[in-house]
Structure 1
Amino acid sequence: MPLSGGLAMFVGLLLVTTFFAGAQKTVAVLAVGGAMLVAIGWMDDTYKAKQKEFPVLPKLLVQFLVAVFAFLLEIRFRGISLSWIGGEEGAYISFPILISLLATVLWIVGLINMVNFLDGVDGLAAGATVFSAVTLFFLSMVRGQDLTALLAVALAGAALAFLRFNFYPAKMFMGDAGSMFLGFALGVISLEGTMKGATLISLVVTVLALGLPVIDTIQVMVSRILAGSPMYQADRRHVHHRLMSHGFSVKQTVVVLYLVSLLFSVLSIFLFFFQ
């Protein structure tokens, strides 16, 4: 089974965004960071194709480096408004540099792994990315953020084009190269888009837009803690595994989780307009 879907999505997104936006900062972050993730992911996929296990540490190191790279190019958490907790209108606290760095790294590395964890069933990670990216596109357009809207719709287009070959029964996989890049792209776009509001509501709206991978990761982490299992150890606690263990077919599982993603997207947009 070909594992080149991730490379195709990365190249497609890069070509489209460079053509329409040029060599802007956010495009450069996606290009450089994406290339690093695709490279290390390709190595991991090569090991898997040979039925060998690739060490976790190099992947985590690259994930950390791309998150720090984004931070250094000013794609970061900057602070938070106090108005939602009773502060005066316009009151704002800027994060110290270390807090900003920690929050940014946790957000980006977290999303990279969330989408990677979700890539366990044909079409699931790509489909969930489409829903999240379209939601971020819509929210960015409403806020007048033209660049992040372009990046989001290009990401949705790349994932949707790949989905044609990845929906059950899959003819191609994205591999770790693809899932890590998709998570990275969602992290960067959300930080430059909806997260720039620096309010509780903007954080909630963004988390809802990325709802399925976030909720799946949280429930897996909680179940592993309760079971005393290592966080890094692969298991069948993900939501798609749970559905299939209850008799759902692969296609039924994916369709149900698409509906869940759609629900999260609708809630995100509703909350954005009625905050």
Structure 2
Amino acid sequence: MQDIVILFMGALALLFIARKVACRIGLVDRPNGRKRHNGSIPLVGGISVYLSLWLIFLLQITSFPQFLVYMCCVTLLLLVGIADDRFDLPVLPRFGVQAAVAAVMMWEGVYLSSLGNIWFGSVLMLGSFGYLVTLLAVIAAINAFNMMDGLDGVLGAVSSVTIGSLAIIFWLGGRHDIALWCICLIVICLPYMLLNIGFPWGKKFKVFMGDSGSMLIGFTVIWLLIIASQGPGAVMKPITGLWLIAVPLVDMLRVMTARMKRGANPFKPDREHLHHVLLRSGLNAYMIPMATALLSMLFSVTGLLIDKMNLTSMVSLIAFIMSSFIYISLIGLFSKNYQELKTEKGLQLPDAQNSTYTVKSNVEWRAKSITGRDESPW
């Protein structure tokens, strides 16, 4: 317990130091046509988490498989993330670096070799095709979590549920060292989450995660999922991993599909992510992180129960697809009702390109004015 307290205090100190340095060198997020927060906010959440990962290593609280290789990959993602935060890099360089770290982890033997008993009860081995599946999985996970970082508290809430679920899975599977490492990861993210929502020092010390941090979180999650589901030390079925990252993954696929249907670039940012839809439906800035966390918990608990009931991966996959369709349908219903309310009542409600607003109407529907930035380049 003492080590955990020291780790938290160290992470908090590193965050304040990184914040001060970022303000001096201009590593801040400034308001523009798409980012509607107030003032210049330091983009240092990812940097503080990265430095705190080394603190876990130095304190020797627990061990992590192939830690130095993992940190090499994370360092590369951190550097390109900082460059993206500072200079707004195009899509291809980011994809190139994400593919590079995927190649490094596969070279070290961390890759998807099997999808479990998904083929009518038989184990489906991927062989060489597993490298391609792993590459796509890494890029998808990194960008799915990156897209979650568009509203204060959302990324922290969703990632905490995912990593916490993994901690439970590793602990139940007897891999207590990695379970403790997952707990330590949540602990070092906690200072960022507190300052991000303005607790307890208010907006004066506010920070954003930045692309460096969201990519770090996404890569770490996919690394943990592969460790948990592959090889002789596997503690869960591979399909269970989909349940643990369902909210960011399904939301990314939903948004990108909608963009392509409109004939738009799937990588062009808009205001159609889950947190934007919930915002326009009337939830305020404090309710949305809780709502996304509860939704993520619902998916995670369902996946864990299916996994522990020893149902086949085919059953788990079918249940996941059905649940995803229900989720997408409900989000579509929220959006449809919003548009109908706007049309029928003649209210001056914000459109999909606006997320900072305060509304009053004859039905006493009010959404609190919030910091509605979209850190992600998506």
Which bin holds the TM-score, normalised by the shorter protein?
0.7 to 0.9
Amino acid at match of 2:171: M
- SS at 1:193's partner residue? helix
Alpha carbons 1:76, 1:104 under 8 Å: kept: yes
- Work out which of the residue numbers 272, 276, 294 in structure 2 matches 1:241: 276
Give the aligned partner of residue 251 of structure 1: 286
- Work out which of the residue numbers 78, 85, 90 in structure 2 matches 1:45: 85
**Change in CA separation of 1:246 and 1:80 when aligned onto 2, cut-off 3 Å:** closer
Amino acid at match of 2:73: G
Q: CA RMSD in A?
A: 2.3
Structure 2 residue 48 is matched with structure 1 residue 8: yes
Structure 2 residue 182 is matched with structure 1 residue 152: yes
Give the aligned partner of residue 247 of structure 2: 212
- TM-score computed with the length of structure 2 as normaliser: 0.65
Give the aligned partner of residue 207 of structure 2: 172
Q: Distance in 1 between matches of 2:246 and 2:114?
A: 23
- SS at 1:202's partner residue? coil
Structure 2 residue 124 is matched with structure 1 residue 67: no
Amino acid at match of 1:8: S
Which of the pair has more CA radius of gyration?
A: 2
**Change in CA separation of 1:163 and 1:149 when aligned onto 2, cut-off 3 Å:** same
Structure 2 residue 152 is matched with structure 1 residue 122: yes
Give the aligned partner of residue 305 of structure 2: 270
- Work out which of the residue numbers 96, 99, 123 in structure 1 matches 2:127: 96
Q: How does 1:76-95 map to 2 (within 5 A)?
A: 76-82=111-117, 85-87=120-122, 92-95=123-126
**Change in CA separation of 1:94 and 1:259 when aligned onto 2, cut-off 3 Å:** closer
Amino acid at match of 1:42: I
Q: Distance in 1 between matches of 2:118 and 2:81?
A: 42
Shift of 1:108: 1.1
Structure 2 residue 154 is matched with structure 1 residue 111: no
- SS at 1:233's partner residue? coil
Amino acid at match of 2:141: L
Alpha carbons 1:130, 1:160 under 8 Å: kept: no
Identical-residue share of aligned pairs (%): 25
Alpha carbons 1:211, 1:261 under 8 Å: kept: yes
Q: Report 1 or 2 for greater relative contact order, CA contacts < 8 Å, sequence distance ≥ 6.
A: 1
Q: Distance in 1 between matches of 2:186 and 2:207?
A: 18
Q: Distance in 1 between matches of 2:248 and 2:231?
A: 21
Q: Distance in 2 between matches of 1:83 and 1:116?
A: 29
- SS at 1:79's partner residue? coil
- SS at 1:32's partner residue? helix
- SS at 2:81's partner residue? helix
Q: Distance in 1 between matches of 2:118 and 2:79?
A: 43
**Change in CA separation of 1:68 and 1:256 when aligned onto 2, cut-off 3 Å:** same
Shift of 1:255: 1.7
Shift of 1:144: 1.8
Shift of 1:272: 2.2
Shift of 1:114: 0.4
Q: Distance in 1 between matches of 2:167 and 2:91?
A: 33
Q: Distance in 1 between matches of 2:54 and 2:280?
A: 38
- Work out which of the residue numbers 258, 265, 290 in structure 2 matches 1:230: 265
Structure 2 residue 148 is matched with structure 1 residue 140: no
- SS at 1:247's partner residue? coil
**Change in CA separation of 1:265 and 1:46 when aligned onto 2, cut-off 3 Å:** same
- Work out which of the residue numbers 67, 72, 87 in structure 2 matches 1:27: 67
Q: Distance in 2 between matches of 1:161 and 1:26?
A: 26
More helix by share: 1
Give the aligned partner of residue 50 of structure 1: none
Q: Distance in 2 between matches of 1:268 and 1:274?
A: 10
